[in-house]
Amino acid sequence: MFHLRQSDDADRAQNADCDREIERRAMVKATELGKNYKRISIRDPRSRWGSCSPDGVLSFSWRLILAPPYVLDYLAAHEVAHLVEMNHSPRFWRVVAKVCPSVERAKKWLDTYGNDLHRYGIED
């Protein structure tokens, strides 16, 4: 069974910084696309980095704050692009590339280090 480590006051403060940084990056990308989202939630998903609901709620993994900034930018762009296209069609990927010049670099980083990052903070 897996458990997340317990948070102390320093962890809570860091989590608040994480929330603000992810929200700031998503807001920049949404503004670039002329789109609005309903709200952002930071969660602890086990298998994905983020999501965008049909009603415009963006969710992100708290672990993203541990990734390089260009990866966070890519994932913010990816989820915000779903406000334009709720799929992964060629048009969707063009929207992502429009607001994120480092798509391939970020995807390569996630392919290399993503599994380890998903496991971060989980104890056996």
pLDDT tens for 12-47 read 445 566 678 889 999 999 999 999 999 999 888 777
pLDDT the model gives residue 20: 85
Provide the domain count of the chain: 1
**pLDDT > 80? residue 113:** yes
pLDDT tens for 80-104 read 999 999 999 999 999 999 999 999 9
Q: What whole-number distance in Å separates Cα of residue 63 and Cα of residue 41? A: 13
pLDDT tens for 40-54 read 998 887 778 999 999
Angle of helix 69-81 relative to helix 9-33, nearest 10 degrees? 50
pLDDT the model gives residue 62: 87
Q: What is the pTM of this model?
A: 0.83
DSSP the chain: --EEPPP-HHHHHHHHHHHHHHHHHHHHHHHHHT---SEEEEE--SS-SEEE-TTSEEEEEGGGGGS-HHHHHHHHHHHHHTTT-SS-SHHHHHHHHHH-TTHHHHHHHHHHHHHHHHHTTEE-
Q: What whole-number distance in Å separates Cα of residue 85 and Cα of residue 16? A: 30
Q: Closest Cα partner for 124 from 12, 5, 43?
A: 5
Q: What whole-number distance in Å separates Cα of residue 117 and Cα of residue 97? A: 24
Q: What whole-number distance in Å separates Cα of residue 42 and Cα of residue 54? A: 17
pLDDT category at 2 given cuts 50, 70, 90 is very low
Q: Which CATH number covers residue 36?
A: 3.30.2010.10
Domain of 10 in residue numbering reads as 3-123
pLDDT the model gives residue 75: 96
